[in-house]
Chains A and B, each alone.
Chain A
Amino acid sequence: MLLEVKDLETEFKVKRGTVKAVNGVSFEVDKGEILAVVGESGSGKSVTSLSVMGLIRDPGRVAGGEILFNGENLLKKSTKEMQAVRGDKISMIFQEPMTSLNPVYRVKDQIMETILTHTTMNKKEALKRAIEMLDLVGIPAPEQRVNDYPHQMSGGMRQRVMIAMALACDPELLIADEPTTALDVTIQAQILDLINRLREKLGMAVLLITHDLGVVAETADKVVVMYCGRVVEQATVEQLFTKPLHPYTQGLLDSIPKMDEDRERLYMIKGIVPDPIHLPKGCSFADRCDKCMEKCREHMPKLSVTEDGRKVRCFLVSDEVEGE
């Protein structure tokens, strides 16, 4: 197993109290596999990915759990040791390609910086590698574009540069946090295709953070669905799309527009995400759930394993209660 996240808890101190943005999340990523983490904004999926990177900063902190990478607990590592992991073994790309590159440095300097930090290459070799990487991510005329400043490139191009930078040291895991959200639809497909292709070519694993189930269907092997800082369902892509078990997952799937159906209105999950400081006592989704039962308001269901190896947190599937 490449990455094992066990009972991860990450919290943020705000004026009105403490927000448990990630509350006991567990999942695994195998070598070469794409795991998608899906959820609405505020579900804790981005915080989970930043926790893996060790990039949670004040007023936030990782409060508990383990993050095992190749069997080593990343949370036990010193700042220096984590720096050696980041950008080398685990890389990350972000949602905002327009602002994620430093505007005052040339593209080559930014890619070379990663290479020079983590390898013993000299500048000349690093530059060669940077050009190779630009070529690999499909940037035309990489020998020239490598001298560009970020502002001379389009959003899609910049995201390609981000990918080139992230992959420059052959990471074992790429974390992609909403990599296509800020891009045009046609560019989105290209970037996803690129990530998928490079995954096969380089054999890395991908942790794909997204709110878009369409993206999941196209690229992922396994899916984790998060809601209010907890995993509510985990399954393979096929299982999830053929038979979603959790009412929240069902709602998400129903809100995707489908070509073959002729419905009057698109389905919408009723209500809003609850206030993270005052989460309901029972199931966090209870207020919005069509199938809410009495005990859903009293107890938090446990994430239980079904016969076919899926995990679901819902009393409709199992009576197990969290913490008992």
Chain B
Amino acid sequence: MRKKQQVQTTGEALEKPESQIRVMWDTLKKNKAAVAGLVVILFFLFLAVMGDWLAPYDPEYSDMGHTFVAPCRDYYFGTDQLGRDIFSRVLSGTKISLFVGVAAVAYSLLIGTVLGSVAGYFGGKVDSFIMRCMDIMLSIPSILLAITLMAALGKGLDKAIIAIGTVSIPEYARIVRSSILSVKENDYVAAAKVVGNSDRRIIFHHILPNVVSSIVVRATLGISTAILDTAALGFLGMGVQPPMAEWGDMLGRARTYIFSAPYTLIFPGLAITLAVLAFNLFGDGLRDALDPKERV
């Protein structure tokens, strides 16, 4: 065992020094699952941009003469209870899910980073007050907190973003705070100070890169959770306003026809699963690539 480790360390030492991003990318490239995840993410991004153009029908147009058409050549995924083309609606839903997912993560990342930084930087009473608040939020299961927030805020895309984003604020606040605390006490920051680096240089060259890597991983995985939560809210009838095509909302409205028209329920769910899976695969790959402990 020890033998092997030694070989690896001498081996690493012999390699040319490469930039961290380069090493990370090389590790990521070798991870087939992560690459597959990335490809699917890019595919969904493509659909989000081109979906409306690719869609054969208007996703919100209801053709009451063609309700519950089973999947066929005219309607690839069939039509729903209001005669809308499910294929077009799933395409259109891509945009919404990705947008809500990214926006919710961006929102909670922003608030979480600010709160975590303030807590970590100032410490003391400010720190314990903020972290107490985070503990309180964490003591309510996330989906319950999200639906309570939706109940208070009302329906709508913007409100869904706030509800879903708020739920994960504590997570980012904790990561940022603990990163800042550990970096504050780390030897290399002390070393950088001793060498006479300015505070700004320390923050940008030493603290940020370390915090950013764990944040990036968390955020990638966070998008998958946000997509799931969006769909859950939609399913419970608390997501977007009709007739907007949102995957979870489509499932929630079609569930009455579970035995008579099961195909209306298959494709929106598949889309959710695939999107979430892709972000999870890519996020796991990123984590393995960024965390040298996991790499060995």
Contacts and interface: CB of A to CB of B under 8 A. Distances in A.
A82 B79 CA distance: 67
A173 interface: no
A241 interface: no
A277 B7 contact: yes
B4 interface: yes
Given A15-B11, A42-B3, A276-B7, 11 more contacts: A14-B4, A14-B8, A15-B8, A16-B7, A16-B11, A42-B6, A57-B1, A59-B4, A60-B4, A275-B14, A277-B7
Interface of B: 1-4, 6-8, 10-11, 14
A14 B7 contact: yes
A21 interface: yes
B4 to A, nearest CB: 5
A19 B11 contact: no
Chain A interface SS verdict (over half): loop
Interface string A268-296: 00000001110000000000000000000
A62 interface: no
Contacts of B7: 12, 14, 16, 19, 276-277
Chain B interface SS verdict (over half): helix
Interface in A1-50: 12, 14-16, 19, 21, 41-42, 44, 46-47
A46 B2 contact: yes
Contacts of B6: 41-42
Nearest to A16: B11
A276 B11 CA distance: 10
Q: Nearest 6 CB-CB pairs, A to B?
A: A21-B3, A14-B7, A12-B4, A42-B6, A47-B3, A19-B7
Interface residues of A toward B: which range?
Answer: 10 to 19
Contact of B2 (A15, A41, A275, A276): A41
Contacts of A16: 7, 11
Contacts of B3: 12, 19, 21, 42, 44, 46-47, 60, 276
Contacts of A277: 7
Contacts of A60: 3-4
A245 B7 CA distance: 29
B190 to A, nearest CB: 28
Nearest to B4: A12
Contacts of B10: 275
20 contacts: A12-B3, A12-B4, A12-B7, A14-B7, A14-B11, A15-B8, A15-B11, A16-B11, A19-B4, A19-B7, A41-B6, A42-B3, A42-B6, A59-B4, A60-B4, A275-B10, A275-B14, A276-B3, A276-B7, A277-B7
